Chains A and B, each alone.
Chain A
Amino acid sequence: MQEHAAGLPETHGHEETHQHEPTGFWTKYIFSQDHKVIAMQYTITALLVGVVGMVFSWLMRLQLAFPGQLSLIQPDNYLQFMTQHGMIMVIYLLTAFLLGGFGNYLIPLMIGARDMAFPFLNMMSYWTYFVSVILLFAAFIVPGGPSGGGWTIYPPQSILPGASPGSEWGIRLLLMSLAVFVASGTMGGLNYVTTVLQLRAKGMTLMYLPLSVWGIFVASVLALLAFPALFVGGVMLLLDSLAGTSFFIPLVNQFGRQLGHEGGNPILFQHLFWYFGHPEVYIVILPAMGVVSDIIANFSRKPIFGYKAMVISILAIGGLSFLVWAHHMFVSGMNPYFAFWFAIATLAVAIPSAVKTYNWMLTLWGGNLWFTTPMLYAIGFVSTFVAGGLTGLYLGNTAVDVPLTDTYFVVAHFHLVMGVSAILGIFAGIYYWFPKAIGRMYNETLGKLHFWVTFVGTYAIFFPMYWLGAAGMPRRYYTNEAVTQLPPSSHELNIFITIAALTVGAAQLVFAFNLVWSIFKGKKAEGNPWKATSLEWQTPQTPPVHGNWGPTEPVVYRWAYDYSVPGASQDFTPQNVAGGPAQKAKASGKTKH
């Protein structure tokens, strides 16, 4: 701590805020403006909220395996668990964790900056997120409870009293929470984008950035462009609910009573929702893809294969994500001719996604693979991403989507491709950066145990859902007892899935124990235990202290993937090391062996 920021060179003219390291408890740990502390705050909050989301998934699974035997779970609270589970997982866990947690921790360290461009805004972003979480949970204590309108909160059902549970204060609080979350995400997103564009260390060109930064950067841009649609849709829905407007509600007759709305269009909401919702799934998957790319390269001791193609794919996926939203609406009643375009654009996304997959595989080829826990998780990510992504070829191909949409086929698809894949990417990242962030090693044996159960369990939970969906098991059903065309054995399959889900849940206790135990008792970590090239591993202290770099900021001479360069003495050359054979190898174009 002694060489704190006083008198740091003013490389970027933004340093005033870092001149003084805060010393008080409140400014150091609670209202901190240090990106690393804010990252921890995001991480811890998101994980705790995620635990709630996971418990809800167990309750749903218990109901589906043992319908009617748990008096705790009724049709109304099944829908509430389902809705809150979906919202929590997508928004309050994955988005918050990947952008707020990884984004905050990694961007400044990986690009060689001392902190974010706007540290105060960064702090505000976290606390605004915190408020949105409070609002989310406040819905549990209002009359009617939280919303049970599905995570898509389609009107009219989500706001008409008597339709879904929580259709009064539950949904209103949820909409307010989402609006606040959008504010938080906007503050964060602006900060991440500005920081990446403005505060890169000397020599760090865009094409020298590690793919983690690329993933987080493009995801932040998507967030900035997509969240406004959610915000607008949310505010309009709130007005329909509170002020009696009719943006989304036409003349309806509910339970024999004509309601006061007139002239609104429910499909308009779906367009707004998915204009946000589709990019949202890439907001969570792109950072995970970036993290996984870096981890695979490191533990293969090889450059990532086709770096440029990886960057272009990230950009292509990000760009296309704004052109495909209505593939969620093929049977919504929108103009059926729209579907031609959305099917074509959707299947086009498969190409950059496939490129990424090939490149991860080709990175393994010829490597010197080192199977640490993060590496296992990264490979697990590739496998589940493919298992989920391939069925996008059914659901994007309109005619094939018709029988499958709104069944468990879709539940299987999105859980595998963006739910558990993102979670596996998060686990990979947590284990990978744990030594840097905490200064101690996690327990490798427990980490691997956690991996095996989670990875195999994930397949056991979600792959069978494809079969159930094809057999016609609709999603969002409290029970399937009366769905007669399902073969009787699908009930046994549901029990199997529930057992797998509970087992995976239990494995998370191993993870929690490993984290907590290692924070206090883990073996002391070296600064660069994985022999990695990127800048975050080159900090003078581990964990890095306020200001990150000590008296001089790093200067970058090479990309982040100089592993096993022929002629180099070690099998990795950090980005801040000058000269050496690597650059020659690259410059002479001798890239193939």
Chain B
Amino acid sequence: MEGIILAIVLVLIVVGTTIITFVGPWGLPELASNWGSIDSMIIVTTIVTMIAFIAVNAVMAYFIYRYRHRDGRRAVYLVNDHRLEKILIIVTSIGIVFLLAPGLFVYSSFIQPPADALKLEVVSQQWAWAYRYPGADGKLGRSNIRFIDAKNSLGVDLKDPAGQDDVAISAGGTLHLPVNKPVELELRAKDVLHSFYVPQFRVKMDTVPGGITRLWFTPNKAGTFEVLCAELCGIGHYKMKSSVIVESEEEFQKWLKQQPTVSQTLGTK
């Protein structure tokens, strides 16, 4: 009796989870960047793993039903079957290579930002995000934790001429990005680890105090998205948020021009 129930329960579990996985309201939020290749990988992986999940449980359910104890039967004495073992190993390995190889291709583009990317800086702290854009010279000035003070909250090195025209959006501000232009973020942290995460862009990267980490993507849908922190950073982790506004190049340039430069804010020069 238990055998029959267990077989039914296993089948119901796979049917239920499979249906909801494919038609349920919870899934990837709508993509808003170039990383469609990551989405394709997720879809392919979902199909492959779901087939395996269904197969394992269905076959088990069948065996459970078929070979449940009945009086007078005796089990088959089967110790091994090398041929079957080999076939299964080969099929599994093919499946894995089939998922891994394209995955590694996607990853290698993930870590190679295009040369024409707009470079800008993300600075994280407990519990807010700040940003810095290069000015007209297209170069971010040097910065260091040492230079942080009440006014210079990002620690821009005021002796570096490249930094004078940078535009700093202090903690709590909003990130603006031009649509369809690759951006490369240089991520920094002032205090502890954080992680820059925008679900619709499919990207995430930790920020590490004492170093710089990098992340690139091309936002391809105008709109406002949420920046979340994805690495535990203390009590305020859950509310460490910011927005990113993706807009046309003109709107972006117009907005950027309205922002004061570092030398204006700090009164240098």
Contact = CB atoms under 8 A, between A and B. Distances in A.
Interface of A: 75-76, 79, 148-150, 152, 154-157, 160, 162-165, 249-256, 258, 263-267, 300-303, 305-309, 331-333, 336-337, 339-340, 343-344, 347-348, 350-351, 354-355, 357-358, 361-362, 364-371, 376, 379, 382-383, 386-387, 390-391, 393-394, 397-400, 402-407, 448, 452, 455-456, 459, 463-464, 466-468, 470-472, 474, 476-480, 482-485, 487, 489-490, 493, 561, 563-566, 571, 585-586, 591-593
Interface stretch (B25-33, B131-139, B158-166): B25-33
B10 interface: yes
A370 B81 CA distance: 24
A558 to B, nearest CB: 12
A254 B81 CA distance: 62
Nearest to B229: A474
Nearest to A358: B88
B144 to A, nearest CB: 8
Interface stretch (B70-78, B174-182, B249-257): B70-78
A371 B2 contact: yes
Given A347-B96, A483-B228, A331 B206 contact: yes
B208 interface: yes
Contacts of B88: 354-355, 358
B60 A467 contact: no
Given A156-B192, A344-B100, 7 more contacts: A251-B146, A254-B126, A306-B81, A331-B204, A369-B67, A399-B110, A591-B80
B138 to A, nearest CB: 24
A443 to B, nearest CB: 15
The 10 A-B pairs at the shortest CB distance, nearest first, are namely A250-B210, A472-B199, A366-B76, A467-B26, A371-B2, A163-B234, A333-B213, A157-B192, A397-B103, A399-B106
Main secondary structure of the interface of B (DSSP, over half): mixed
A64 to B, nearest CB: 11
Contacts of B85: 306, 309, 355, 358
28 contacts: A157-B233, A252-B190, A254-B126, A265-B210, A266-B209, A300-B67, A302-B75, A305-B81, A309-B80, A343-B100, A355-B92, A367-B75, A367-B76, A369-B67, A379-B64, A390-B53, A397-B103, A399-B41, A399-B107, A400-B45, A403-B199, A406-B197, A471-B27, A472-B228, A474-B230, A476-B238, A477-B237, A477-B238
Given A79-B235, A164-B234, A463 B53 contact: no
A560 to B, nearest CB: 12
B15 interface: no
B25 A487 contact: yes
A367 B228 CA distance: 52
Nearest to B212: A333
Contact of A484 (B35, B110, B226): B226
Interface residues of B, number: 101
A369 B69 contact: yes
B235 A75 contact: yes
Contacts of A403: 28, 35, 38, 42, 199, 202-204
Given A258-B145, A266-B209, A371-B2, A585 B126 contact: no
Contact of A75 (B17, B78, B236): B236
A470 B210 contact: no
B3 A471 contact: no
Interface in B65-111: 67-69, 73-81, 84-85, 88-89, 92-93, 96, 99-100, 103-104, 106-108, 110-111
A331 B205 contact: yes
Given A163-B234, A459-B13, A394 B42 contact: yes
A393 B52 CA distance: 12
Contact of B209 (A156, A336, A387): A156
Contact of B38 (A379, A402, A490): A402
B63 A364 contact: yes
Given A309-B85, A483-B226, A398 B74 contact: no
Given A75-B235, A386-B56, A463-B17, A266 B89 contact: no
B203 A482 contact: no
A332 B206 contact: yes
B20 interface: yes
B28 to A, nearest CB: 5
A256 B148 contact: yes
B9 interface: yes
B171 to A, nearest CB: 11
B221 interface: no
Contact of B52 (A79, A155, A386, A571): A386
Nearest to B66: A365
B75 A479 contact: no
A337 B110 CA distance: 11
Nearest to B228: A474
B191 interface: yes
B21 interface: yes
B67 to A, nearest CB: 5
Contacts of A265: 210-211
A459 B37 CA distance: 30
Interface string B214-254: 00000000000110111111111111010000000000000
Contacts of B67: 300, 364-369
Contact of A471 (B28, B96, B150): B28
B59 interface: yes
Contacts of A564: 74-77
B226 A485 contact: yes
B60 A361 contact: yes
B145 A386 contact: no
Contacts of A253: 125, 145, 148, 155, 190-191
Contacts of A565: 77
B79 A394 contact: no
B204 A406 contact: yes
Contacts of A369: 3, 63-64, 67-69
Contact of A302 (B78, B96, B239): B78
Contacts of A165: 235
Interface string B42-61: 10010011001100110110
A54 to B, nearest CB: 22
Contacts of A152: 232
Contact of A487 (B26, B53, B80, B233): B26
Contacts of A163: 126, 191-192, 233-235
Nearest to B31: A403
B193 interface: yes
Given A264-B210, A400-B38, A164 B232 contact: yes
B6 interface: yes
A464 B16 CA distance: 11
Contacts of B261: none
A489 B57 contact: no
A379 B200 CA distance: 38
Contacts of B211: 250, 265, 267, 333
A390 B56 CA distance: 11
A468 B75 CA distance: 44
B24 interface: yes
Q: Which of A154, A303, A402, A563 has the most CB of B within 10 A?
A: A402
Given A361-B60, A403-B38, A489 B25 contact: yes
